[in-house]
C-alpha cells in the first residue's frame, strides 16, 4: 500500500527587512542631494511601496525653497506619485503586495468616529495630521535613515516620494486600476485632481457660469478643463506668462489676459470684460500670490460670485480686501486636494481617465529617468515652460 506523504508545513511570507535604496534628500533650503537611504519595514497599519513614477509639483519647490512654515530638514520631499506595494504591516487589509497605488497627502481613514470622513462636506481627515505635520509616521517615528551616518530623515506630507521606496500609512494609499499608464496615474496625486475638484466639488460650477482662472500652470489648466467639461462660458485665463495661453485656449479658455498688458488692477479689467459687467460667477486663484487672491475675490460677481483659493501662499503672507466686498455678496472659499476623499476619489478619477472621459497626457511636458534626475525635473519646473515633469524611477 502507498504511504501518504506528510503535507509540507505552511509557508510564512518572508518578514520584510530594511531596504537600501536611492533617494533625493533635502538637507536644507535648496540643498538637495542624491543619497543612499535605509527604508525600514512597514509597522502596523503601514505600507512600504516602490515608487515607479513621480511628478514634481510646485509645493515641492516651495518647501525646498524654505517658504513652507511646516518645512522640516533633512527630509525626503515629493508627494505626486504612482507606486507598487512591496510589503504591508500588521493589520493592513485594504491593499496587498503587488497592488498599484497613488499616495495621498490628505488621508481618508473612513472610521465611523471620524466626523470629517463621515461628512460629505470635506476631505480633511485629521487622523494622522499631527504626526504627518511633524514629518513622522503615525507612531511618532521615521522609517528613513541616512545610510552614511545612520541619522534620521523626516517624512514629508505623509508621502516622501523622492525615494525609490517609501512607507505610507494605509489610510494614505489609494488603490487604483493598474492598467492606467503609471505616468498618468501620478498626476492624480495632487495638482490635476486638485484643479478638477476645485471646480466640481468645492465651487460646484454650473453650466453657463462665467469663470475667471488666475494662474495657468497645471492646476489652473485643470480648472479650465473642468470648467469647460461642465459647460461654463466664458472662461477667462489670466497669467503673466503668455506661453501658457495656447494650451489654455485648447483646453477651454475663451480669452486669455496678461496683467502686464494693463495699467489698471486686473479686477477692473476683468469686470469690464465680464458678460454682465458685474464680474464672474466663479473665480479661482491658482497662483499662491496674495495680491492675485484679492483680484480674484474682487472680480467675483456682485451679489453671488464665489472665489476659490487653490494656491498655497508663502509663509507669513496674508490676504486683504475691503469688507464691503463681502457685504455686497462676494464669497470666498478654499480647497485642499480639490475636496476629493483620497481613497474613494483617486480610483474613480483613474477609471474615468481609462474610459477617455478625463484627458491628462497634455500635462506631461517633461520626462526624466532615475531618482537622481529629480534635479533636472526641478530645473524644468523653474523654466516656465513646464506643466508637469514626470520622473520614472
Does residue 109 carry a catalytic annotation? Answer: yes
Interface residue with Zn ion among 52, 72, 114, 229 (CB under 5 A) is 114
Would you count residue 109 as binding Zn ion (CB under 5 A)? yes
SS3 content of the chain, % helix, strand, coil (to 5): 30, 25, 45
Cβ of residue 146: shortest distance to ligand NAD, in angstroms?
A: 28
Does residue 253 carry a catalytic annotation? Answer: no
Q: CA–CA separation, 235 vs 194, rounded Å?
A: 18
> Among residues 79, 143, 182, 330, which one is catalytic?
79
Distances (CA, A) of 190 to 155, 254, 361: 17, 26, 15
Q: CA–CA separation, 187 vs 180, rounded Å?
A: 11
Q: CA–CA separation, 350 vs 100, rounded Å?
A: 12
**Phi and psi of 301, rounded to 5°?**
-65, 135
Closer residue to ligand DAO (CB): 46 or 80 = 80
Q: How many residues belong to the site for ligand NAD (CB under 6 A)? A: 31
Cβ of residue 154: shortest distance to ligand DAO, in angstroms?
A: 16
Residues 6+ apart with CB under 8 A from 273: 236, 255, 257
Distances (CA, A) of 135 to 153, 295, 344: 9, 35, 25
Does residue 362 carry a catalytic annotation? Answer: no
Written as nine digits, the cell of 239 is 497669467
Written as nine digits, the cell of 307 is 472665489
Would you count residue 345 as binding Zn ion (CB under 5 A)? no
Site for ligand DAO in 212-271 (CB under 6 A): none
> Among residues 109, 186, 256, 386, which one is catalytic?
109
Neighbours of 184 (CB within 10 A): 22
Q: Which does 74 bind (CB under 5 to 8 A by kind): Zn ion, ligand DAO, ligand NAD, none?
A: none
Cβ of residue 105: shortest distance to ligand DAO, in angstroms?
A: 6
Would you count residue 194 as binding ligand NAD (CB under 6 A)? yes
Interface residue with ligand DAO among 52, 61, 146, 336 (CB under 6 A) is 336
The dihedral built from the CA positions of residue 207, 213, 216 and 222, taken in this order, carries a sign that is: negative
Does residue 125 carry a catalytic annotation? Answer: yes
Site for ligand DAO in 88-107 (CB under 6 A): 105-106
Q: CA–CA separation, 255 vs 242, rounded Å?
A: 12
Would you count residue 214 as binding ligand NAD (CB under 6 A)? yes
Q: CA–CA separation, 40 vs 145, rounded Å?
A: 8
Under DSSP, the state recorded for 213 is: E
Distances (CA, A) of 363 to 8, 185, 220, 243, 272: 53, 12, 11, 14, 31
Single out the residue of 77, 95, 79, 76 nearest to residue 87, CA to CA. Answer: 95
Q: How many residues belong to the site for ligand DAO (CB under 6 A)? A: 11
Cβ of residue 13: shortest distance to ligand NAD, in angstroms?
A: 37
Please confirm whether the linkage preceding 234 is cis (ω < 30° from 0).
yes
Site for Zn ion in 259-288 (CB under 5 A): none
Task: Give me the 334-353 binding string for ligand NAD, x by CB under 6 A, dash otherwise.
Answer: -xxx----------------
Cβ of residue 182: shortest distance to Zn ion, in angstroms?
A: 27
Task: Give me the 277-316 binding string for ligand DAO, x by CB under 6 A, dash otherwise.
Answer: -----------------------------------x----
Note the residues at the interface with ligand DAO (CB under 6 A).
57, 59, 79, 105-106, 124, 126, 129, 190, 312, 336
Active site residues: 57-59, 79-80, 109, 114, 117, 125, 129, 190, 388
Note the residues at the interface with Zn ion (CB under 5 A).
109, 114, 117, 125, 127
Note the residues at the interface with ligand NAD (CB under 6 A).
57-59, 62, 190-191, 194, 214-220, 238-241, 244, 259, 286-289, 292, 310-312, 335-337
Amino acid at each position: 500500500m502507498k504511504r501518504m506523504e506528510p503535507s509540507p508545513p505552511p509557508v510564512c511570507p518572508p518578514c520584510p527587512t530594511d531596504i537600501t535604496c536611492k533617494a533625493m534628500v533635502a538637507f536644507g533650503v535648496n540643498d538637495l542631494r542624491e543619497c543612499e537611504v535605509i527604508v525600514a519595514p512597514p509597522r502596523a497599519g503601514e505600507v512600504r511601496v516602490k515608487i515607479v513614477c513621480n511628478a514634481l509639483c510646485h509645493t515641492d519647490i516651495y518647501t525646498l525653497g524654505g517658504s513652507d512654515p511646516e518645512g522640516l530638514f533633512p527630509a525626503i520631499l515629493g508627494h505626486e506619485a504612482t507606486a507598487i506595494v512591496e510589503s504591508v504591516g500588521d493589520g493592513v487589509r485594504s491593499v496587498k503586495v503587488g497592488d498599484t497605488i497613488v499616495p495621498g497627502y490628505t488621508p481618508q481613514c473612513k472610521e465611523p468616529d471620524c466626523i470629517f470622513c463621515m461628512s460629505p462636506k470635506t476631505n480633511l481627515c485629521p487622523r494622522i495630521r499631527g504626526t504627518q505635520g511633524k514629518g513622522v509616521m503615525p507612531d511618532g517615528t521615521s522609517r528613513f535613515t541616512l545610510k552614511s551616518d545612520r541619522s534620521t530623515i523626516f517624512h514629508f506630507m505623509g508621502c516622501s516620494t523622492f525615494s525609490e521606496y517609501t512607507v505610507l500609512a494605509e489610510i494614505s494609499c489609494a488603490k487604483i486600476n493598474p492598467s492606467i499608464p503609471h505616468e498618468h496615474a501620478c498626476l492624480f496625486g495632487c495638482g490635476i485632481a486638485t484643479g478638477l475638484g476645485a471646480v466640481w466639488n468645492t465651487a460646484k460650477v454650473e453650466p453657463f457660469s462665467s469663470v475667471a482662472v488666475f494662474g495657468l500652470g497645471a492646476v489652473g489648466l485643470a480648472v479650465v478643463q473642468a470648467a469647460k467639461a461642465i459647460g461654463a462660458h466664458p472662461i477667462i485665463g489670466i497669467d503673466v506668462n503668455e506661453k501658457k495661453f495656447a494650451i489654455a485656449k485648447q483646453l477651454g479658455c475663451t480669452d486669455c489676459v496678461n496683467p502686464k498688458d494693463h495699467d489698471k488692477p486686473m479686477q477692473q479689467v476683468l469686470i469690464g470684460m465680464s458678460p454682465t459687467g458685474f464680474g464672474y460667477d466663479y473665480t479661482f486663484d491658482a497662483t499662491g500670490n496674495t495680491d492675485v487672491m484679492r483680484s480674484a475675490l474682487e472680480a467675483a460677481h456682485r451679489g453671488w460670485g464665489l472665489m476659490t483659493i487653490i494656491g498655497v501662499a508663502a509663509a507669513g503672507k496674508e490676504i486683504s480686501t475691503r469688507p464691503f466686498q463681502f457685504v455686497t455678496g462676494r464669497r470666498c472659499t478654499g480647497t485642499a486636494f480639490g475636496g476629493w476623499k483620497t481613497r474613494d476619489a483617486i480610483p474613480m478619477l483613474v477609471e474615468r481617465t481609462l474610459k477617455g472621459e478625463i484627458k491628462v497626457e497634455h500635462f506631461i511636458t517633461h520626462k526624466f529617468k532615475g531618482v537622481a534626475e529629480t534635479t533636472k525635473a526641478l530645473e524644468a519646473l523653474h523654466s516656465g515652460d513646464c506643466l508637469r515633469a514626470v520622473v520614472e524611477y
